[in-house]
Amino acid sequence: MKEDEIRAGLADAKAEGAMSKAKETALSMLADNMPVETISKYTGLLIKEISALQK
């Protein structure tokens, strides 16, 4: 069981890191005035997630 918990924790951390990087990339793209649809395409973020970053 302990090994499964460790693997689950690592998977969660990896997903959290990927999301953080996607948001960082989206913020850079927003700063360059790129369209939200393009940002969504290249980051995998939903348009509503990108819109939330703009606020």
Q: Report the alpha-carbon angle 41-54-10, nearest 5.
A: 60
Three-state secondary-structure class, residue 40 = helix
Residues 24, 7: Cα–Cα separation, whole Å: 26
For the record, the structure tokens of 38 come out as 């393009």
Residues 4, 21: Cα–Cα separation, whole Å: 26
Q: What is the pLDDT along the chain (55 residues), one digit of tens a residue?
A: 789 898 988 888 999 999 999 999 999 999 999 999 999 999 999 999 999 999 8
Nearest Cα to 23, choosing from 1, 49, 2?
49
Full-model pTM: 0.82
